[in-house]
Copies of this chain bind each other. A is one copy, B any other.
Amino acid sequence: MMRALDAAREAAAMGEVPVGAVVVSDGEVIASAANATRSPPDPTGHAEIRALRMAAEALGKGRLNGCDLYVTLEPCAMCAGAISHARIARLYYAASDPKGGAVEHGARVFEQAQCLHRPEVYSGMGEAEAAELLRGFFRERR
């Protein structure tokens, strides 16, 4: 999660909402990504989506069975759907997101009967730091 927080700081430095994600396979980081939606413009450029794509490329397969995803913020519906498609085994996220999260809030993607793959979900590690990064970012923009 420290690596994911580092990626979130990189996002902030680029003027992006500070969220970072890391994919781990067999104890090794195989992908690390910052939220990047602006340059080039990409409405799907959330850290999770970018990390999953990188991990699939690194492993040469789209199904990341056995891999863990660490992300600094509760995934949205788009990212939760992608996590399920990618067959991520364990999802760790730092801060909850009542406004945009779709794991424990809103669409609750993994709780749907039609969800074909549900990762194990763990939350709260690094929460204070992840939340402070987000608060600081939005405070500066006001």
Copies in the complex: 2
**Contact partners of A86 in chain B: CB under 8 A:** 43-44
User: Looking at A81, A100, A116, which has the most chain B CB atoms within 10 Å of its CB?
Assistant: A81
Q: CA–CA, A63 to B19, complex, Å?
A: 19
Which of the listed residues A41, A44, A76, A98 has the most CB atoms from chain B within 10 Å of its own CB? A44
Assess whether A57 is in contact with B78, with CB atoms less than 8 Å apart: no
CB distance from A108 to the nearest CB of B (A): 7
Q: Interface size of A by Cβ–Cβ distance < 8 Å?
A: 44
A63 to B38, CA, bound (A): 10
Say if the beta carbon of A30 comes within 8 Å of chain B: no
A33 at the interface (CB under 8 A from B): no
Could you show 12 A-B contacts with beta carbons less than 8 Å apart?
A: A42-B62, A43-B63, A43-B86, A44-B49, A44-B82, A78-B80, A78-B84, A80-B81, A99-B114, A100-B116, A102-B107, A106-B112
